[in-house]
């Protein structure tokens, strides 16, 4: 029996079925009901059903069906994707489902293993990786559910020995296109390129207003805008935004009430920051979540919501700031919960934890704390945490719209 969650048939669809049976015709379902059923099925099932008939095979590739299937997956089956990376070992990828169960992904259909890869980001069922063995890093796009992979060509430079690279991956609903953005810098940003999945090529991006900005670490994408954590000589720490539709950069001052050491994430499709502080005269830890409201990306200044604070007992290592670099921590917001891990602290707990690593979840509404164990494949691995949903989103031929 199929379960369709909260979505059932409409009264008009039920009436149509009854009329078909009463007329004595061969029992069959109307096309709209069949489509309503199919868009609720896992991608793995849809891949098998392509051979049922040509009409279904064509249906699964139409933009409307892909969008409706994605919307249903986003609402009903949001998961977390967690990748363990180490330059010397293969990349391991896990899925955390709504039942708090971990599953290891099937291997990517590639020649060889993903050794020396880093997970840049996850968006609408597509995963973007960077091959750190190549200079500049070579992006790779993968739809694990559909088992499709696309190697993105790289733009090579004559001299790259002194350059740093930062990659971002995201989707713009305005132009219906996915883009990979690469920033190059030495003492400050000195080059920006963007790869359009719809066009299938790289292009240079104007970056005059961020030439004096140094990007400190990788960022996130929210509602078609990428955000990076940076610094500027005359302003100190800043937030750099890049609109994927207009391809315009904006530099925003750092919110005065947020500590510099923090982690960018996305909450309700908006940029959010969560940071840690030690409660005064207490051994407890305080985790703060601050969300940027609509209209906060303009030159007139940012608008931030009041911070929500969550207090944890001192034995919980939620200290996102206990180390000098945020890379020791990873986190996101998933199913209304803040999810994070401090894998450097976990290294100190290795004898007690064995081959698992603690993952911490705080409900943003109730403040309830949960701890689950992440299956660590190898000690000393770092890992990333991103939201993930199954999708039929293709890796090419995306229909681009004008901004």
Give exposure, 204-232, as e/b (b: 16+ Cβ within 10 Å). ebebeebeebbbbebbbbbbbbbbbbbbb
Residue at token pair 């989103």? 393
In this predicted structure, which of 37-41, 188-192, 212-216, 232-236 has the lowest mean pLDDT? 232-236
- Reading the block at residue 377, the tokens are 């494949």
Q: Within 10 A of 361 (CB to CB), how many other CB atoms are there? A: 20
Residue 207 has a pLDDT of: 93
Q: Are 395 and 141 in contact (CB under 8 A)?
A: yes
pTM assigned to the model? 0.82
Residue 295 has a pLDDT of: 59
Q: Are 186 and 163 in contact (CB under 8 A)?
A: yes
Residue 345 has a pLDDT of: 45
Residue 321 has a pLDDT of: 38
Distance (Å) of CA 41 to CA 22, 52, 70, 73, 189: 29, 15, 11, 9, 45
Per-residue pLDDT of 40-79, as tens digits, reads 999 999 999 988 889 999 999 999 999 999 999 998 888 8
Per-residue pLDDT of 218-251, as tens digits, reads 789 999 999 998 898 888 889 999 999 999 999 9
State the helix-helix crossing angle for 31-38 and 63-76, rounded to 10 degrees. 50
Q: For residue 93, give the nearest of 114, 73, 78, 109 by alpha carbon.
A: 114
Residue 111 has a pLDDT of: 41
Pairwise pLDDT comparison (397 vs 116), residue with the higher score? 116
Phi, psi at residue 208, to the nearest 5°?
-55, -40
Per-residue pLDDT for 82 more than 70?
Answer: yes
Average pLDDT taken over every residue of the chain: 76
Q: For residue 385, give the nearest of 345, 320, 340 by alpha carbon.
A: 340
Q: How confident is the model at residue 135 (pLDDT cuts 50, 70, 90)?
A: confident
Per-residue pLDDT for 378 more than 80?
Answer: no
Residue 255 has a pLDDT of: 82
Q: For residue 262, give the nearest of 322, 213, 188 by alpha carbon.
A: 322
Residue 274 has a pLDDT of: 79
Per-residue pLDDT for 366 more than 60?
Answer: yes
Residue 56 has a pLDDT of: 92
Q: For the residues 98-115, what does the mean pLDDT come to?
A: 70
- Reading the block at residue 17, the tokens are 């079925």
Residue 327 has a pLDDT of: 37
Residue 341 has a pLDDT of: 73
Distance (Å) of CA 302 to CA 93, 210, 229, 255: 36, 18, 15, 8
In this predicted structure, which of 5-19, 182-196, 269-283, 312-326 has the lowest mean pLDDT? 312-326
Per-residue pLDDT of 310-351, as tens digits, reads 665 433 444 433 433 333 357 788 888 888 776 444 444 444
Q: Given this structure, which CATH class describes domain 72-388?
A: mainly beta
Per-residue pLDDT for 261 more than 60?
Answer: yes
Q: For the residues 270-299, what does the mean pLDDT come to?
A: 68
Residue 225 has a pLDDT of: 94
Pairwise pLDDT comparison (134 vs 386), residue with the higher score? 386
Q: For residue 357, give the nearest of 126, 97, 102, 42 by alpha carbon.
A: 102
Distance CA 390, CA 168 (A): 21
Per-residue pLDDT of 353-363, as tens digits, reads 556 677 888 88
Q: For the residues 123-140, what does the mean pLDDT come to?
A: 86
Residues paired with residue 312 on neighbouring β-strands, in sequence order:
285
Residue at token pair 């969650």? 5
Pairwise pLDDT comparison (11 vs 36), residue with the higher score? 36
Q: For the residues 132-154, what does the mean pLDDT come to?
A: 85
HSE (side-chain half, CA atoms, 13 Å) at 204? 7
Strands (E), 144-188: 148-151, 164-172, 177-185
In this predicted structure, which of 103-112, 174-183, 362-371 has the lowest mean pLDDT? 103-112
Pairing of strands 177-185, 189-196: antiparallel
Q: How confident is the model at residue 288 (pLDDT cuts 50, 70, 90)?
A: confident
Residue 6 has a pLDDT of: 42
Distance CA 210, CA 235 (A): 12
Q: For residue 187, give the nearest of 162, 217, 161 by alpha carbon.
A: 162
Q: Within 10 A of 239 (CB to CB), how many other CB atoms are there? A: 23
Pairwise pLDDT comparison (365 vs 221), residue with the higher score? 221
Residue at token pair 């911490």? 360
The SS3 of residue 166 is strand
Residue % of the chain over a pLDDT of 70: 68
The SS3 of residue 387 is strand
Work out the angle at residue 84's Cα, subtended by the Cα atoms of residues 364 and 226, and round it to the nearest 5 degrees.
55
Q: Are 78 and 387 in contact (CB under 8 A)?
A: yes
Residues sharing a CB contact under 8 Å with residue 202, sequence separation 6 or more, in sequence order: 153, 155, 193, 194, 195
Helix (H) or strand (E) run with residue 383 in it: strand 382-388
């Amino acid at each position: 029996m199929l379960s369709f969650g909260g979505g059932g048939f409409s009264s008009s669809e039920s009436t149509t079925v009854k009329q078909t049976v009463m007329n004595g015709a061969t029992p069959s379902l109307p096309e709209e009901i069949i489509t309503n059923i199919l868009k609720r099925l896992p991608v793995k099932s849809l891949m098998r059903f392509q051979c049922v008939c040509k009409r279904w095979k064509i249906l699964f590739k139409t933009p409307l069906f892909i969008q409706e299937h994605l919307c249903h997956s986003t609402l009903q089956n949001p998961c977390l994707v967690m990748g363990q990376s180490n330059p010397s070992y293969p990349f391991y990828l896990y899925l955390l489902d709504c039942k708090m169960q971990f599953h290891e992904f099937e291997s990517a259909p590639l020649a060889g293993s993903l050794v020396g890869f880093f997970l840049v980001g996850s968006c609408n069922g597509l995963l973007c990786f960077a091959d750190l063995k190549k200079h500049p890093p070579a992006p790779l796009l993968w739809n694990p559910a559909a088992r499709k992979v696309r190697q993105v060509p790289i733009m090579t430079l004559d001299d790259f020995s002194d350059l740093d690279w930062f990659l971002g991956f995201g989707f713009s609903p305005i132009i219906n296109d996915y883009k990979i953005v690469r920033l190059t810098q030495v003492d400050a940003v000195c080059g920006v390129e963007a790869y359009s999945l719809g066009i299938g090529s790289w292009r240079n991006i104007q970056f005059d207003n961020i030439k004096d900005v140094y990007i400190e670490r990788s960022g996130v994408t929210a509602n078609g805008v990428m955000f990076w954590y940076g610094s500027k000589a005359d302003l100190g720490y800043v937030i750099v935004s890049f609109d994927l539709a207009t391809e315009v950069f904006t530099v925003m001052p750092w919110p005065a009430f947020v500590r510099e050491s923090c982690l960018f994430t996305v909450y309700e499709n908006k940029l959010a920051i969560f940071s840690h502080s030690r409660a005064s005269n207490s051994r407890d830890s305080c985790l703060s979540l601050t969300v940027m409201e609509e209209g906060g990306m303009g030159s007139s200044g940012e608008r931030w919501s009041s911070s929500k604070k969550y207090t944890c007992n001192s034995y919980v290592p939620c200290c996102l700031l206990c180390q000098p670099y945020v890379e020791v921590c990873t986190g996101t917001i998933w199913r209304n919960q803040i999810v994070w891990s401090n894998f450097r602290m976990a290294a100190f707990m290795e004898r007690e934890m064995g081959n698992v690593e603690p993952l911490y979840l705080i409900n943003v509404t109730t403040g309830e704390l949960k701890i689950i164990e992440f299956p660590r494949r190898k000690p000393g691995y770092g890992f990333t945490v991103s939201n993930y949903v199954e999708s039929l989103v293709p890796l090419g031929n995306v229909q681009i719209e004008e901004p």
